[in-house]
Amino acid sequence: MTVYVVTDTSSCLPATMAEDAEITVLPLHLSGEGADATTAGLGQLELTAAYARLLERGGDDGVVALHLSKELSATWSNAETAAAIFEEKVQVIDSQSAGMVLGYAAVAAALKAREGASLEEVAQTARDVIDHASLWLYVPRVEALRKGGRLSTGQSLLTTTLATRPVFQLEEGKLSVASKARTQSKALDRIIDLLQEKILPGALEALRAATAKAKDEHHDEVKARHRTKTKAMLDIVNPKKSDADQENPDTAWNPAEALKERTAAARLEALNLLDAPRSARIAIHTEEATEVAVELKERIDAMVEEMTQANSQLEVVVDVVTIPPVLSTHTGPGAVAIALVLDERTPSVVMQPEAVGEL
């Protein structure tokens, strides 16, 4: 017998990952199409029935339920009511989140259950993942968020009037603005900054300092080479030394390439000095392979390559998952979300499943 884990479609958990971990994924409700589409959470009766089936299958060992944040849906309160029927055999986790924060927590909990862990141990595993997780959201247009009540009218008007491209963070179950930018490209820069700083605290300051130092050193080298070249030209016009003694400036030297190499080396050295977690898992959520999703994936891959080069002990996996229609109704077209989970444990339970999806 074993403890079973259940979540809902707001977790964006890929079917293969759910099946491999034996996680039950309950569908949230979507009715209508396009601009007329509406969503509804899971009701008490259907949750009661789902929990009862899992308890019967697991021999009453227990069920851990991970649902969409209670601030975003009535599902959590309905789950609490349903769980009360089973005399503490069902533990409902207050995720305060959505997307693959739930998905990764569900996978980690299910793998813990597979080891024969108790109900409380499985539930605590899910809580640990959530406690070390972050979720950011970028939407080209905020109208869908406002219409669905996920964004206040004031926030919507502010971003529209100022023509800003906000990056939102799901914090304590509610959407808040994590960063603002004037262009989409700058908004993606902000997302990379947020990821770097979460994975390696102090990374932004260290990288800025390293880049500035590399530029200063490069400037000094350019001046030194210019002096050497000028001196060599004067010696040709007015030789004072033998040909063997004359300095030959490196005519093959490329300033742009030299600066690039110096900066890359300085950044790696700076990152290597920072404390890194054991592992990190990133999920890019997208409705389809949009231009912004593809660009963001490329930037994240470059960031991961630099970080793992600098910190050989750091392991990072990047997943690409689909935003289901029940969520994209509220985020609107072109939205991308990024989930991050950090793990200090060895081996990392979150890292075990192989990466899924591609763009």
CA atoms within 13 A of residue 335's CA, in its CB half-sphere: 26
Per-residue pLDDT tens over the stretch 8-24: 999 999 999 999 999 99
Residues recorded for the chain: 359
Task: Identify the residue whose tokens are 């809902």.
Answer: 8
Task: Report residue 50 as tokens.
Answer: 């789902």
**How far apart are the C-alpha atoms of 318 and 281, rounded to whole Å?**
6
CATH number for domain 4-132, candidates 2.40.50.140, 1.20.58.100, 3.40.50.10170, 3.30.2270.10: 3.40.50.10170
If pLDDT is split at 50, 70 and 90, which confidence band does 153 have?
A: very low
Q: Does domain 134-201+275-343 have CATH number 3.30.1180.10?
A: yes
What share of the chain has pLDDT > 90, as a percent? 45
Record the pTM: 0.80
The confidence score (pLDDT) of residue 151 equals 54
Amino acid at 293: A
Structure-block tokens of residue 119: 């109900």
pLDDT in the model for residue 161:
42
At 12, list the tokens: 């964006």
CA–CA separation, 340 vs 76, rounded Å? 22
Alpha helices per DSSP H over 87-183: 100-114, 119-131, 143-147, 153-161
Copy the structure tokens of residue 22: 């034996």
336 with 296: CB under 8 angstroms? yes
Is pLDDT above 60 for 269? yes
Spatial distance between the Cα atoms of 341 and 274, rounded to a whole number of angstroms: 18
Pair 37, 44: CB distance under 8 Å? no
Q: What pLDDT is stored for residue 145 in this prediction?
A: 66
Q: Is the pLDDT of residue 56 over 60?
A: yes
Which residues make up the CATH 3.40.50.10170 domain(s) of the chain?
A: 4-132
CATH 3.30.1180.10 residue ranges of the chain are 134-201+275-343
pLDDT of 240 > 70? The answer is no
In this prediction, residue 281 carries a pLDDT of: 94
Tens of pLDDT, residues 105-130: 999 999 999 999 999 999 999 999 99
